[in-house]
């Protein structure tokens, strides 16, 4: 008997649904073993049917998002938080640092590319909630499949395990575990931006003065970015070490490692990450487990960065 699968899309870009196609020929193995009973990307049905597995993409940003995740939880035996937005809030969750009215003003009123000066207001338009949240803040989640979008390897491994009635094989390792670069102690004394210089393809980015989030990000990607010349941006979400210690986060973890590998002061590294916090924390600042930490002061960092920029 085939496994009944339902998918749903909340506030997101639909990239997780599109990532199904990246399974290529393995997609046939999955499709032959399941019945897709609900998928808004394929057909616009209004009611969620009963299903064995529900995959929910996106964070909860509107009252409509809240309604659909609650209904999916009622109709599905198991729920998978599918993609980083569903697991951690993702890019959509980054707007949690702003109030809804601030967002509307920027998008509809004070925007050089906007023709009208009217904020849409209709009973047919879903209402913004005060914050964007990962779905586990609204419903119980059985399994997490982070990634922006999820890597085909982990989609296939996760779905085939569930189809077989087994728990998927999970790992707690960081992105560094799959990175081919070599950690060396160096005499580097200055931080570099990603656009500066040409990094040595065999040496760890941290050793060269580039901020890379591989050591604080969960491996759900097989490290394609650092292995092809791009520092990790943390799109899969944080490692358990970052999550579980209330006084540790990505800036303290990265700064500690980088300071040991180079001659850059730990305080300077922390300050750099704080100045660009909206970039380095962009994938998971919507998750209460991280933004409620006493050390996570992003609004303060944003104000300080703006003051510094104004004096330059």
pLDDT tens digits, 165-218? 887 777 789 999 999 999 999 999 999 999 999 999 999 999 999 999 999 999
Residue from 95, 24, 161 nearest 302 by CA = 95
With cut-offs at 50, 70 and 90, classify the pLDDT of residue 295.
Answer: confident
Distances in whole angstroms, Cα of residue 110 to Cα of each of 105, 107, 116, 291: 6, 7, 10, 28
Give me the chain's average pLDDT, please.
92
Q: Is 65 helix (H, G, I), strand (E, B) or coil?
A: helix
Instruction: Please report how the helices 250-261 and 266-275 are oriented relative to each other, as an axis angle in degrees rounded to 10.
Output: 140
With cut-offs at 50, 70 and 90, classify the pLDDT of residue 162.
Answer: confident
What's the rounded Cα separation, in Å, for the pair 130 and 135? 15
Does residue 238 carry a pLDDT above 70?
yes
The tokens describing 112, both together, are: 């050089």
Confidence at residue 172, expressed as pLDDT on a 0 to 100 scale = 87
C-beta separation of 226 from 214 below 8 A = yes
Which are the contacts of 267, defined by CB distance < 8 A and separation ≥ 6?
A: 255
181 vs 122, residue with greater confidence: 181
Does residue 233 carry a pLDDT above 70?
yes
Confidence at residue 312, expressed as pLDDT on a 0 to 100 scale = 66
Does residue 311 carry a pLDDT above 90?
no
What's the rounded Cα separation, in Å, for the pair 258 and 235? 20
Does residue 80 carry a pLDDT above 70?
yes
What's the rounded Cα separation, in Å, for the pair 84 and 190? 32
Confidence at residue 200, expressed as pLDDT on a 0 to 100 scale = 97
Does residue 85 carry a pLDDT above 70?
yes
Residue from 94, 41, 88, 65 nearest 220 by CA = 88
Confidence at residue 45, expressed as pLDDT on a 0 to 100 scale = 87
Task: Give the domains, in start order, of the chain with CATH numbers.
Answer: 3-163 (3.40.50.700), 175-311 (no CATH)
CB atoms near residue 35 (< 10 Å): 14
Predicted TM-score of the model (pTM):
0.92
Question: If phi over 0 gives left and psi between -120 and 50 gives alpha, with beta otherwise, what is residue 158?
Answer: alpha
Q: What share of the chain is helix, strand, coil (3-state, %, to 5)?
A: 40, 15, 45
* Mean pLDDT (whole number) for 128-139: 94
The most distant pair of C-alpha atoms in the chain lies apart, rounded to whole Å, by: 67
């Amino acid at each position: 008997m085939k496994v009944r699968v339902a998918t749903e899309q909340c506030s997101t870009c639909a990239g997780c649904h599109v990532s199904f196609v990246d399974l290529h020929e393995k997609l046939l193995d999955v499709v032959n073993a399941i019945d897709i009973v609900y998928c808004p990307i394929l057909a616009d049905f209004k009611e969620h049917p009963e299903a064995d597995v529900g995959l929910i993409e996106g964070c909860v940003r509107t009252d409509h998002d809240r309604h659909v995740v609650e209904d999916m939880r009622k109709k599905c035996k198991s729920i998978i938080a599918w993609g980083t937005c569903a697991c951690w809030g993702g890019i959509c969750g980054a707007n949690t640092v702003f109030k809804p009215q601030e967002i509307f003003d920027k998008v509809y009123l004070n925007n050089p590319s906007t023709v009208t000066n009217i904020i849409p207001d209709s009973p047919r338009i879903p209402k913004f909630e005060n914050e964007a949240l990962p779905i586990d803040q609204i419903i119980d989640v059985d399994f997490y499949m982070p990634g922006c979008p999820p890597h085909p390897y982990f989609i296939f491994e996760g779905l085939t395990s569930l189809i077989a009635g087994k728990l998927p094989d999970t790992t707690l390792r960081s992105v560094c575990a799959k990175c081919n670069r070599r950690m060396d102690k160096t005499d580097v004394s200055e931080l570099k931006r990603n656009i500066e210089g040409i990094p040595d393809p065999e040496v760890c980015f941290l050793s060269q003065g580039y901020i890379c989030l591989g050591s604080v990000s969960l491996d759900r990607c097989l490290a394609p970015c650092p292995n092809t010349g791009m520092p990790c941006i943390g799109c899969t979400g944080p490692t358990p070490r970052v999550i579980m210690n209330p006084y540790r986060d990505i800036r303290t973890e990265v700064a500690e490692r980088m300071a040991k590998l180079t001659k850059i002061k730990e305080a300077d590294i922390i300050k750099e990450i704080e100045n660009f916090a909206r970039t380095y924390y962009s994938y998971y600042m919507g998750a209460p487990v991280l933004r409620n930490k006493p050390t996570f002061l992003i609004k303060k960092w944003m104000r300080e960065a703006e003051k510094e920029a104004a004096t330059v």
